[in-house]
Every structure is written in C-alpha cells, then in structure tokens.
Amino acid sequence: MQLTIWTYEGPPHIGALRVATAMSGLHYVLHAPQGDTYADLLFTMIERRDARPPVTYTTFQARDLGSDTAEIFKNAVAQAYERFQPEAMIVGASCTAELIQDDPGGLAKALALPIPVIPLELPAYQKKENWGASETFYRLVRALSVTGAEPAGRDGRRPLCNILGPTALGFRHRDDLVEIRSLIERLGIDVNVVAPLGASPSDLGRLGEADFNVVLYPEIARAAAQYLQKTFGQPMVETVPIGVAATVRFVEEVAAVAGIDPAPVLAGAPSRLPWYSRSVDSTYLTGKRVFIFGDATHALAAARVAATELGFKVVGLGTYTREFAREIRAEAALHGIEALVTDDYLDVEAAIQAATAELVLGTQMERHIAKRLGIPCAVISAPIHVQDFPARHSPQMGFEGANVLFDTWVHPLMMGLEEHLIGMFREDHEFHADAAPSHLTRHGAGSPATQVERSLLDDKEKPQVAGHPAEAAVRIVPIPDDKGEGISIWDASAEKELKKIPFFVRGKARANTERFARERALSLITVETLYDAKAHFGR
C-alpha cells in the first residue's frame, strides 16, 4: 500500500456501490466499520442524487472486535431485508472489514432469505474500483439472467438490443445514455434492457431476450457482455461512440449486427465538430500539444478525437486503468510516444511538465495539476467532482457529444490565446504590470519547485550588483526546492524579455534559465543569460 493525498480509484467495494446505487430493487449490505460509511456523501453530494443509496452498513466499532462481529452482520442483513424488501441483495466487506474474515456470503446464505443473495469477493488490496464495478455487474448478470430467455424470432418485429455499462457516479453516463438510446432507436432498433443504470434484478432476467449487446464502457460491462455472448450467443458492439468518426463506426456496426441500413441516420449526422475544426478560427488551434490521462475508455477516445478530428498533437497519453494497459500502449505507439500507466498523480504531473503540453485533458486531479502549472485543461474522465454533473444535457458520446467535446476542449485554448494577447500588450496604456490574468494562476509559473513570487525591492533592499544599477533588478523569492536552494536575481530587462515568451512555455523557460544560472553560479540573470540557456537546452 502507498499513502497518498489523491487517488484515482477507490477500493473495489466503491465499484460495487456504483452498480448497486445505479439499480432499483437491489440492496447492498456492506460489512464495514465506522469510517467506511461514505456512500451518502459520494452519491447525494457529488452526483446530486435525490435519494439515498440502497446500502446498509454494519458499522461495527473497535469495541465490537472483541465480540461476535459475524452476528452483527447477520442482524444487519435480516433488518435490511425486512425494512427495504428488495428483489435481490448483494453482500460483501469493505477493505477494512475484509481483514477480520467474517465471510459475508456464507453468513447471508445461512439466513435462507426468500430472494437471491449474491456474495461479492472483492480483494481490496489487489484490485480497485473499476474492477469492483465490473466484477459486481458480472456476478449479478450471471446470477440473475435467465438461461431460458432466448430471443424471439425476428418475423414482424424490430431488432432488440441491451445497452450495458452506465453506472452511478460515472462521467456523463446519464447524458451518454440519452444520446445513444436515441441514436439506436432512430436506426429502428428497440432497447430491451439498460443496465446497470435504471435496471432492476428482474430486468437482468430479461437480458437473454435481446439480439445483441451494446457495450458503452468496457471497464464496467465487457466481462458481463462476454458472459452473455457465451451463454446466449449474443454478439456485442464494443466501439465507443466518442467523436464523429467513432460514432459513425458505431452506427455502422450496430446496423450490421441488426441487419438494417444505417444510411438514413448517417445522412442526417448533426455534429458541428467537423466544420468547426476546419474553420478559420480553429487554425489557431492546429498542432497544439495535448496531454491526455484518464480511464481507458475516455483516454483512448480522446487521443483519437484530438489527433484526427481537431488537429492537435498528442504528446502524452496515459491511464490509471491497468487492466487496459495493452490498448493504451498500442494507441500511444500510433502517436510516436510511450504510454504512461500509473496511479501516482506525481508521475502524471512530472510527465505533463516534461511534455511541455499546451492543453491537458484529464481527471479532476489533472485539472488541479494544470491549474498549478498554468496550463489550460478540460476534464474528460472520472475521478470527477460535483461540477462534472451539470444540470444541462452534456454528453460525451454521439454526434451531440462531439459538439460538447469541441466546446469543452477548444474554449480553454481560446482563453489561453486571450491570456497570451494580454501578455503581449501588457505595456499598453490600457493595461498595467499588475493586471491579473483572466483565468490562470497569477503568474503562470511552473511546478511548486519553480513557482516564484516576484516583488520589487524597496530602496534599502535592492541589491547592488557590479555593473548594474540597483533599480534595474527584480528580486525572485522562490518556493524552495528539495535541496533548499535559492535562485538568482533577474535583471529587469531579462524579466521583460521573458514576458515575450508565450505563457504556455514561459514556466519551463524560467525554470531552465534559473537552473542554467545556478549551475554556473551566476548571480544575475540577464537577457544574454536567457538566450544562452535557450541555446543550451535547445541542443
């Protein structure tokens, strides 16, 4: 284990919570101590759900460890059944309760409840949240889908499909589902079951009646879809319809499986992204260096859309979803880069700095990192925050989702261009030296080790440097680096010259110049030093 401030995924029982909370008629009894009982916080405060999640905790305390915690769990299961009367229950342990090895599945089975009770074995110290959601959904499908529920003959009826993958606390899952369901129905295909989101245990019993399955989020639904394919012979469509090209492929694949003509739907494809990305205004965006990090579904899709539909240059691609490392590495190779597969946000921050990215597409963590580095950013993937559950319809998938992607990814760069113009005209009489940027950190510096607070010295503090008047110097007050080293004094003319460098690389230019000066024991950074450093690091 590693102690950390931020984490990309929670333990696997959080994934189970996401599946249980997405469904109706299902209840989750979680063997957990005080401190592991945060489902209400996750779903009602972040996702803004209007109902409490269907979860019962045993909530044992330290003093209970000396008594019978197994009995506490059995009582909790019995009381949850009597109170909520669910169609089915899932039972399991949190990462902490796993250590006491009470066997929730065996204890619940001993109660002989008149409903299906599905035990979950989620190894908290080997697996994480997305795997937990996938395993939970797979176990539910395996236990509740009825083997005899075969598709009816096609004579006189429309094709029938299941949509698999959307969960609670998913990034734009609610809006994606609206968009894709509409697209499928316009093709002349009926939707049999959507699961887990909005499904009941009895709905899972009807999964076998569909002709095929649509997998929207492979991290969640691939294992379940593979089981359905093996058990019922249902084909599955796994193309993720994010971006115009992927949506067209998705429509064609769905139509091929259903045996219908996709032309009428594709002829009316309403996305504005292709025209906007070819427009004159967008020439300012072509070739921008973009760093992408997130779950595998969204990171892979973002890389393809960024490179082929918006004209960006992908300079970084990574994921925290290790189960999909092979796919991420293959996609990165197409862009001539090495994939970053990690769950350490410090590694991601270092990679963003090394790539000198001009735009970051990532999670909430990358948003914070980019803000600290003074780089525009858009959130494309979980982990997310309350602001990523907007009241408006804001999908990522389908043709309308492509419009949302264009707006979400391009607008930060447009604001960045505004920032650059303000910097260029800072000496104009309409501006002043202390004017605050419109949306970035105050000075747009680099990492905490290179961020600086600049202040003019008063007369008695201004240093006297041989050959340079005191009034020409600006003191740099550093945030100390790991070695506690200070950094050199910038000549006012060098500081002015530095402002001419575009904001998105200015932090790196400052850091390199200060490093160059320290290594050569230069007490004053002049314009010559700035350009010497540029030549040195540009080799």
Which residues are within 8 A (CB) of 46 and not within 5 positions of it... i.e. 6 or more apart? 169, 384, 385, 386, 389
Instruction: Give the up-direction half-sphere exposure of residue 417: CA atoms within 13 A in the CB hemisphere.
Output: 11
Give SS3 for 427: coil
Separation between Cα atoms, residue 40 and residue 38, nearest integer Å: 5
Whether residue 301 contacts residue 246, with contact meaning beta carbons closer than 8 Å, is answered with yes
Residue 500 to residue 424: CA distance in whole angstroms: 6
Q: Is 484 assigned to a binding site?
A: no
How many other CB atoms sit within 10 Å of the CB of residue 125? 10
d(CA 29, CA 91) in angstroms, rounded, equals 5
Angle between helices 244-258 and 296-308 (to 10 degrees): 120
State yes or no: 155 annotated in a binding site.
no
Cβ atoms < 10 Å from Cβ of 102 = 21
| Residue 278, number of CB atoms within 10 A of its CB | 10
Catalytic residue, chosen from 40, 68, 190, 281, is 281
CA distances from 103 to 63, 100, 129, 296 (A): 20, 9, 21, 33
Q: Which residues of 295-328 are buried (b: 16+ CB within 10 A; e: fewer)?
A: bbbbbbbbbbbbbebbebbbbbbbbbbbbbeebb
Q: Count the Cβ atoms, other than its own, within 10 Å of residue 112.
A: 7
Contact between residue 121 and residue 103 where contact means Cβ atoms under 8 Å apart: no
Cross-strand bridge partners of residue 188: none
Residue 299 near residue 324 (C-beta atoms within 8 A): no
The answer to whether the annotation marks 417 as part of a ligand binding site is yes
Instruction: Name the residue type at position 410.
Output: V
Query: Is 428 known to be catalytic?
Result: no
CA distance readout (Å), 525 to 300, 456, 487, 518, 535: 43, 16, 10, 10, 15
Element (H, E) at 236: strand 236-237
Torsion 342-346-351-357 (CA) sign: positive
Q: ∠ CA 379-248-256 to the nearest 5 degrees?
A: 130
Please choose, from the candidates 118, 39, 107, 120, the residue with its C-alpha nearest in 3D space to the C-alpha of residue 77: 107
Q: How far apart are CA 507 and CA 353, in angstroms?
A: 9
List, as residue ranges, the binding site for [4Fe-4S] cluster. 36
Q: Which residues are catalytic?
A: 281
